[in-house]
Amino acid sequence: MSIISDDDFLTENTALKSMDSAKKETPVNSESNDYDRNFEDTIRPKTFDTYIGQTALKNNLKISVEAAKLREMPLDHLLFYGPPGLGKTTLAGVIAQEMGVGIKITSAPALERPRDIIGILMSLKAGEILFIDEIHRLNRVTEEILYPAMEDFYLDMTTGKSQTVKTMRLPLPKFTLIGATTKAGELSSPLRDRFGIVNRLEFYTKEELTQVVKRTAGILDIKITDDGAETIASCSRGTPRIANRLVKRASDFAIVKYDGEITEKVAHEALEVLKIDKYGLDNTDRTLLKLMIEKFNGGPVGIETIAAAIGEDVRTIEDVCEPYLLQAGLIQRTPRGRKVSPEAYRHLGYKLKGFSEQTTLF
Ligand code: ADE
C-alpha cells in the first residue's frame, strides 16, 4: 500500500513536459531536445491510417481501441518497448486521438517526488491517457503510488501529523497508463505485470521508411524524387525519427543550393556533410567500432570499457548506438562482451586477419 502525505500537494507540479522550443540543432542520431520535439510534433501522424509501419501492432491496437469504445471503457494499460525513435510517443498520441480522449505526457525522470505523480493523477479526466516515457527509470515510491492507481484507480493518502494521522482513500478517474521504455528488462515485475498489453516496436523496413520520408517531405512542402527518398531511407537506421531529421537537413540543402527538390545527389550531399555512411552510421558509431577493432582486437569487450574508452555514456551506447549495430549485424553480443562482426571490418576497410575460425562463423 502506498501512503502519501498531504504535504505532497503543496508545490506546483512541474513534471508535465514543456513544449517550449529551444532552437538548437542536434546530431540526427542523438536523443531529442525541445526544438526536435516541435518539429516531430508537426509531422507526427495523428491517426492509424496515417501511421506507417508496425503493421501487426497497429492491427492489434485497432481492435483493442474498437473494443474499448464499444464497451465504453478506457483501454487497458499499455507498455511499448523498443529502441528510441521508433514511434512510441507517436503511437500513444494516435491511440488518444482514435479513442477521442486527452493525453498527458511526462517521463520518469520528471516524476522525482510523490507530489509529481499525484498531481498528474489527480488532474486526469475520466478515460484520459497518461503517457510516461522512460518508465524503467521510475523511483520506487512513485512506482508504489502507481500500483493501486493502475489497478483499482485510487490513491492512499495520510492527513495530519504523527498521533493525529488519518488515512484516506482517494478515488481517481478511470484512466489508461501508456508506458514507454527502451529497456523492458529493467522494469520491476510488479509494474510490468500491471500492463494489460505489452508490445515491442520493431525497426522499420527500407520501404516503410521511404514512405515516411515522402510523407514528411510532403508536409514540409518539399519535392523529393524516389531515389532521393530511398537514399535517405536506407541511411536512417530503421528509425523514423532519424529519417525525418535527415529529410529536414536534406530539404535545407535542396532549398539553399539546388532548385528545391531532394534528389539522390542532394540526399548524398547532405549525408556526406553529416558524415553519415551508407549503413546510416555516424561518427560515434564508427569511432566505437574502430576502437573495438584497434584496441580490443574486435572484442569481446565489455560495454563499460567501450564507453570509458570513447568518452560516451554507457546508456547512450546501450540505448542509441547498440540496438541498430546489433540489428545491422555489425556487432554481436556474447556472454563475455560485445564483438565486432566481419561485416563491420569490411565496411570500415579493415582486413579480416586475426579472426579465429570460430569468429568467422557468424
Ligand atoms: N513519422 C514518425 N513516425 C512515423 C510513422 N510511423 N508514420 C508516419 N510518419 C511518421
pLDDT of residue 50: 96
Show which residues are catalytic.
88-89, 133, 182, 241
pLDDT of residue 283: 92
Tens of pLDDT, residue by residue over 245-277, are 999 999 999 999 999 999 999 999 999 999 999
In the reported structure, the alpha carbon of residue 177 is separated from the centroid of ligand 1 by a whole-number distance in angstroms of: 22
> Does the bond joining 240 to the residue before it have cis omega, within 30 degrees of 0?
no
DSSP bridge partners of 197: 78
DSSP bridge partners of 337: 334
d(CA 286, CA 344): 9
pLDDT of residue 359: 41
d(CA 45, CA 298): 41
- Ligand 1 test: best mutation among 36, 90, 213, 214, most atoms within 8 Å of CB? 90
Q: Residue 210: pLDDT above 90?
A: yes
Q: Residue 9: pLDDT above 50?
A: no
In the reported structure, the alpha carbon of residue 264 is separated from the centroid of ligand 1 by a whole-number distance in angstroms of: 21
Where does the pLDDT of residue 21 fall: very low under 50, low under 70, confident under 90, or very high at 90 and above?
very low
Please state the rounded mean pLDDT for residues 79-90.
Answer: 96
**Residue 338 phi, psi (nearest 5):** -95, 145
Strands 166-171 vs 154-159: parallel, antiparallel or unpaired: antiparallel
Minimum-distance ligand 1 atom for the alpha carbon of 87: 3
Residue 102's contacts (CB-CB under 8 Å, 6 or more residues apart) are 96, 125, 128, 129
Which of the 8 DSSP states describes residue 358?
T
Q: Residue 174: pLDDT above 50?
A: yes
In the reported structure, the alpha carbon of residue 246 is separated from the centroid of ligand 1 by a whole-number distance in angstroms of: 14
SS in 3 state form for 42-101?
A: HHCCCCCCCCCCCHHHHHHHHHHHHHHHHHCCCCCCEEEECCCCCCHHHHHHHHHHHHCC
Mean pLDDT rounded to a whole number for the chain: 88
Where does the pLDDT of residue 28 fall: very low under 50, low under 70, confident under 90, or very high at 90 and above?
low
- Ligand 1 test: best mutation among 39, 41, 51, most atoms within 8 Å of CB? 51
d(CA 159, CA 136): 30
In the reported structure, the alpha carbon of residue 216 is separated from the centroid of ligand 1 by a whole-number distance in angstroms of: 8
d(CA 150, CA 213): 37
For ligand 1, whether the C-beta of 43 sits within 6 Å is yes
Closest residue to atom 2 of ligand 1, CA basis: 240
d(CA 160, CA 158): 7
For ligand 1, whether the C-beta of 212 sits within 6 Å is yes
Q: Residue 332: pLDDT above 90?
A: yes
Tens of pLDDT, residue by residue over 63-72, are 999 999 999 9
Output 156 or 214, whichever has higher pLDDT. Answer: 214
Q: Residue 33: pLDDT above 70?
A: no
Give CA separation, 32 vs 4, 27, 36, 157, 321, in Å.
33, 9, 6, 36, 15
Please state the rounded mean pLDDT for residues 94-120.
Answer: 96
Please state the rounded mean pLDDT for residues 99-125.
Answer: 96
Query: How many percent of the chain have pLDDT more than 70?
Result: 87
For ligand 1, whether the C-beta of 87 sits within 6 Å is yes
Please state the rounded mean pLDDT for residues 312-326.
Answer: 90
* Residue 313, helix vs strand vs coil: coil
pLDDT of residue 18: 35
Closest to 6 measured CA to CA, from 122, 110, 132: 122
Q: How many helices (H) and strands (E) does the chain have?
A: 15, 12
Closest residue to atom 1 of ligand 1, CA basis: 44
Where does the pLDDT of residue 6 fall: very low under 50, low under 70, confident under 90, or very high at 90 and above?
very low
In the reported structure, the alpha carbon of residue 11 is separated from the centroid of ligand 1 by a whole-number distance in angstroms of: 37
